[in-house]
Structure 1
Amino acid sequence: MPQLRIAQDPAADDLLGRDPLALLLGMLLDQQFPMERAFAGPRLLADRMGVDTLSAAGLADADPGQVVTWFRGPPAVHRYPGSMAARTQALCRLLVDRHDGRAEGLWAGVPDGATLLRRVRELPGFGEQKARILVALLGKQYGVTPPGWREAAGDYGQEGSRRSVADVTGPESLAEVRAGKQEAKRAARAAVPS
């Protein structure tokens, strides 16, 4: 079982390491929200549902209003509880329909990184960048390393990089990733003509 330190909270990180669905949902929630809070979200959700491990079928079949209630909190699982609750249910429905409700079905038996990337891109809420970051996270920290996974992950797959959640292994690397993102934003703003 991977020992993750993304959420910076032992209970949340334990769930991420032993529950592939929690990892996928953390990645889904990592949007316009602090990274460590996004990845702590699956633990909050599991606690509110009264379960130790999340179930794609359970979330897919739950009453949408109840899922929104779980997301609202307080504290909220995400700053946009309604839309993220709906995306969570859509992601879980896809897992039920295509992978027998198993998040690890996304990567089980994939022949190569390109196939893994294609499967991840099909997830609701996963664009190109988020899909590449998840492929990198799976390869760097979850032991999912089909041939060509680094190429599929692009720059996020580089050894020793500090670009994304795939590189967060504790407080120091979190600070390095955050500083790198802030520098990239500054550079992007400076490149825009006035």
Structure 2
Amino acid sequence: MGSSMGDDGGTLAVTGDPEADQLVRDDPFALLLGMMLDQQIPMEWAFKGPIRLAERLGDRFSPAAIAEMAPDELETAFKTKPALHRFPGSMAKRCGELARHIVEHYDGDAGAVWADVRSGKALYDRLRALPGYGDEKAKIFVAILAKRFGVAPRGWKAVAGPFADRQPRSVADIDGPDALAEVRLWKKNQKAAGKSKQD
């Protein structure tokens, strides 16, 4: 599974499923994959994706094994009902790309993406280079590492931007059901405010 997330395993708890949350806390690749899947589907569904994929792949749930899988086999694992995403085909392809990137750049150890990082900017750059990680996703992941796992390199707040503050606004702020509800409410209010501005 690569580098562990530390003795306490972090405080991230998004899914309401103890086993799903535990895998994401313990396995750096599962954490990266959950964040990658977190788009156009509910957060809980995205972060349950890794354990569902692990159940389907068994001992092949690792960057090295996934990197070597045939694309159609990985796609089948994503598409098997219940599908792992609203767009399982494209996400299966991206998962394969993520696994190959980790193998090529970090010798298959997903935790090495942040294990020896010296600055927030360096961490952001590494995350931004990952397949499926745009600007906002990379910023949120920096905040996840700092807020939930104690990985807080110098300057992390500057690169995380608004996701570094105390307002519950992203998955980085979720340590249980209450926090999840607060983040949902914030997003709902932001969406409503955006619509009113356009009227």
Short-chain TM bin: over 0.9
Give deviations 1:45-96, integer Å, cap 9, x for gaps: 0000123x83101111111111011101210111111000000000111111
Name the TM-score, length of structure 1 as normaliser: 0.95
**Does the CA contact (< 8 Å) of 1:21 and 1:54 recur in 2?**
no
Partner of 2:174: 168
Determine if the alignment matches structure 1 residue 80 to structure 2 residue 100: no
Report how far residue 37 of structure 1 moved: 0.6
Task: Give, in whole Å, the separation in 1 of the partners of 2:11 and 2:190.
Answer: 29
**Does the CA contact (< 8 Å) of 1:132 and 1:156 recur in 2?**
yes
Partner of 2:66: 59
Report how far residue 191 of structure 1 moved: 1.4
Give deviations 1:98-140, integer Å, cap 9, x for gaps: 1111111111211100100011011111111111001000111
Give deviations 1:27-49, integer Å, cap 9, x for gaps: 00000000001000000000001
The code of the aligned residue for 2:178 comes to E
SS of the equivalent of 1:103 reads coil
Task: Give, in whole Å, the separation in 2 of the partners of 1:91 and 1:24.
Answer: 9
Determine if the alignment matches structure 1 residue 36 to structure 2 residue 44: yes
Gaps (5+ residues) in structure 2? 1-8
Partner of 1:2: 10
Instruction: Tell me which of 17, 26, 30 is aligned to 1:18.
Output: 26
Report how far residue 190 of structure 1 moved: 1.4
**Does the CA contact (< 8 Å) of 1:117 and 1:135 recur in 2?**
yes
Q: How many matched pairs?
A: 191
Task: Give, in whole Å, the separation in 2 of the partners of 1:186 and 1:123.
Answer: 32
Task: Give, in whole Å, the separation in 2 of the partners of 1:143 and 1:95.
Answer: 22
Instruction: Tell me which of 164, 185, 189 is aligned to 2:191.
Output: 185
The code of the aligned residue for 2:162 comes to D
Within a 5 Å distance, the mapping from 1:116-127 to structure 2 comes to 116-127=123-134
Determine if the alignment matches structure 1 residue 106 to structure 2 residue 118: no
The code of the aligned residue for 1:102 comes to D
Give deviations 1:2-35, integer Å, cap 9, x for gaps: 2431111011001011100000000000000000
Partner of 2:35: 27
Partner of 2:135: 128
The code of the aligned residue for 2:103 comes to V
Task: Give, in whole Å, the separation in 2 of the partners of 1:149 and 1:8.
Answer: 28
The code of the aligned residue for 2:181 comes to A
Report how far residue 152 of structure 1 moved: 1.3
**Does the CA contact (< 8 Å) of 1:3 and 1:14 recur in 2?**
no
Task: Give, in whole Å, the separation in 1 of the partners of 2:74 and 2:19.
Answer: 21
**Does the CA contact (< 8 Å) of 1:3 and 1:13 recur in 2?**
no
**Does the CA contact (< 8 Å) of 2:12 and 2:172 recur in 1?**
no
